[in-house]
Structure 1
Amino acid sequence: MYKNVSIVADTRVPFPDGTQVMVRCRELGVYKLLGESTLTCQGGVWNHQVPNCIPTTLLTNFTDDAPPTILVRVPAGSASVEPDGELAVFPGSIIHLECVFARKLGNPEWSWSSAFRQYLTGWAIAPEERDWKYRLSIYYSKPQDSGVFTCTTPHGLTNSVTINVVAVHCAPLEVDDPHVTARVEGSRLGHTAVFQCPMGFVLNGTANLTCHATGKWSGMPPQCNPVRCPRLRDIGDPHLELIEQNTTYLGRAYYRCRWGYRLTGPPGLECGSDGKWIGEVPRCQPVHCPPPKPPFNGRILEAGGRALSDGRYAVGSAVQFGCSDSHQLVGEPTIVCTENGFWSHKAPLCKPRCPYPGDPENGRIAPLKFYYEPGDHVKVTCNPGFVIRERTATSRPSCRQDGSWSEEIPSCVDYTQV
């Protein structure tokens, strides 16, 4: 203790000359202090060596070469372990001091400094305790019971607990934070107060306070601070963008990928109740469209973009198609790879078509089309005074499956020449 504040040993912390420091082990009765419990800074050095805390039987698996552990149990009343290592007890309390020692190794002994009365000692009665707990009981404690209580093993190893019986009450706790929930046992020595925060808030301070023998609580009531998750900064992916970030409880951080890339994983993180982001930061993968298939009787004329080794194309790539002779392209002649990984249109088809043959001289054909499908016929009609030249020619040529006409379009000549 330094100025009534618990500190952790750190040789880098400077203390003014004349400072007095009280040293104790963390857990009462579980460790034994070896050395002086009070140190004074004199001329830049401590007047004694820093003491050590050695483990007792509970930590050494009941070996007979370790000092005995002393466990404290308060079945009635209240008590508090003070900062200086004493056990402060409220008058009227019942205290059991349990000397932990293997019964098969012999009987330990209790002794005490108080001459007020004799105390009941002996092995615990409960079956699960009677082979390792040698008990001293203080019933309805009084101030005259204050003193040092020591357990000694058959090998002469000792451990002690100092008890101070005092009637003390602490002032009522004032909790000014509306978010703090307090469960206060009472205000007398040894009573505790437990504090909690609602979901979305974190406790700033000590969750448990104890009324000490000084008449003061072991600390100030805590406060509830809103949970905040750390701001996300270095994403580590040049293609990933953080578009929204809410660092409060249940707030979310959303990501998106630059054009030509897609997210892998959930698009966002959520700020949890412990102030940590829930989830993994997503990653961006390039978007590719599958290799386009040239149509039957067609080919790819031009690709506006470099294809990968497996034939896929990056977003924005354009592919233009063309058809073989005597075939007509049906559909979009150019398709584009979109950012969802699909082509903007289906690949076109190349269907056989017969081209418009043109009207014969001094005649005409019907019907008139730019292209003719297989099975279509055209009828040749000559102008008045003209007839078809060849006697074997038909006036109805047809479009064949390969996109060619069944015969040449016959010509019309003056009937006087036939």
Structure 2
Amino acid sequence: MEFFFGLLQTRRSKSSWINLTFLCSMLCMWTSVECWSYFYSNDTMSWSDARTWCKVNYTDMVAIQNQEEITHLNSWLPWKKTYYWIGIRKVNDVWTWVGTNKTLTEEATNWAKREPNNGKRVGSNEDCVEMYIQREQQTGKWNDERCGKNKTALCYTAACKNDSCQHGGCVETINSHRCACFEGFYGDQCERVVECNEEEVTVPDKGSVHCTHTNGNFSYDSSCQYSCEEGYQLSLSRPLRCTVSKQWSEQPPTCELVQCQPLSTPERGSVTCSDPLGSSSFRSTCVFACDEGYELADTPQNTLQCEASGIWNASQPFCVAVQCPYLQELDNGLLNCGDDADVRFSFGNTCSFSCALGYQLMGASRVTCTSAAEWSERMPQCEAITCQNPEGAHIIKNCSRPVNDLRPASTCSFTCAAGFELQGAHSTLCSEDGQWSDAIPTCKAIGCPAPEIPSSAQISCSPSLSSPVSAGTPHPLGMVCMFSCDEGHELTGALSMECAHPGQWTSTPPNCTAVRCPQLEAPENGHVNCSNSDPVFNSQCSFTCNQDFSLDGHDLLTCDRNGNWTGETPTCKAPESQLAAITGGAAAGGALSLTGLSLALWFLKRLRQNANKFELNSNSDIETPPQTYRNSIDSLI
């Protein structure tokens, strides 16, 4: 098949140029294929001006596509002394096709021998490319040149139009073009599209499908995206696409129930699950609980739910032992909770306490962490071993250390306050166990023995026997006791006595003796009968007369508190007949004795009057010698 060139030469206002057009062959005309056209300028110009000229008047500078095109241009273009600029230039030190902005690959190069060499002139780079046409040597080859040189511009007009290919790329060929259809399209102008079977796109149970059609219903590149209801997930997440082979890229997926990772029963705990749709699936709920003494760790909730995402709404909890409060080391003591630091204060663990030498544990020696996160006992303390302060009433102590810090080996000695004597050890030693070696002594008040209280006597002491002073002993030093006699008795001895050191009374108790009355004689011609043989206070004497005699006076006399009888001794009077005889018989001698008898009666009466003036009970404080007064004539002799 032959090709023809048509050479057209015209003149423009500023430059002249020659239009070299490929004349389509008979084949071109028969197939209505548009041809490529080449143009070159009549004037020479720099590379930049040449490209501008080509773009203004045509498509762009010539982009050499293959060796066949080079051969064709070399055979038909006229020889030019300056040769032709083509569309290659160095961009950022890389040779680049300026029309497509693509890097010149090694296999597409057509450099002349020893080119490109960037020239020999210093400071002047050869960044543009010329092509040798009609040259004797290396014709059709390329050479790098300075872009400022003037050469002939070689341009082209593409054969491809915007509508040459509907769904493909237009490939320029010499005197023609062809359509390279995009994937999924075919036909001379790529006007037809591949189609897939619509019926193969099915809707799954618990799901739906939505298709998008870029190139027509269920045709190439149509995409069908599946989705599932909440709690269900696709067996295949990728969408279905209509491929170039007229087949869908995948089989339609199904909607499967979302499954969460199965939960395990925590150690020291339990889990109870509710599965309305399936085991460990969407909407499954699991409740966790821990054994006594254990609690869920690091989570505020004990219920987990399987969500639509296939993930539990929280991480699986685990049970840990409850923790009791941290125990501090004892002052002057040791705390031992075992060697495992992780469980020192955990449920069930036991801690023991001990004290340093010289200290004793006050409280429990062992505590255990309970399920309530509390220790079974209160925290003990180590207290210094001390003996108790030796105290006692009226005791005076002298200790080797302060009384509030009586450590082992401390000593205390004891004395008593004045008026008291020590009962027990005079000193004691504090032993290692905090006990005194001897019992603490007591102070006993120094006192007198209880005084003997005479018969028919009363005693009154100061201070009183019931006063606090008398609490230690009923008769302390300084006590004074006063004595008095009952009615009808008289005191013989000291009226009072005092308790003096070393616990002796200053005198002996006195005596109280009953008051005595004069001995009564029976009246003449009569009798006397007394209650006591000794006529003491309250003694009574009754009188009677012989037969035919009558009593003249009181028939009963009593000895009073003063030692006097309550009346005169009565007489027994003779009958009247005897009285006359006695009177006559006595007449002779009566005259002689009348005067003497009258004198005797007067004298006795005076003695009785004088005796009544004396008190039988003596209140005198004079202790010696005691005196006793009697109502009798003997006391006056």
TM-score of the superposed pair, with normalisation by structure 2? 0.27
Larger radius of gyration: 2
Structure (1/2) with the larger strand percentage: 1
Say which structure, 1 or 2, has more relative contact order (CA 8 Å, 6+ apart): 1
**Higher helix residue share:** 2
* TM superposition score normalised by structure 1: 0.37
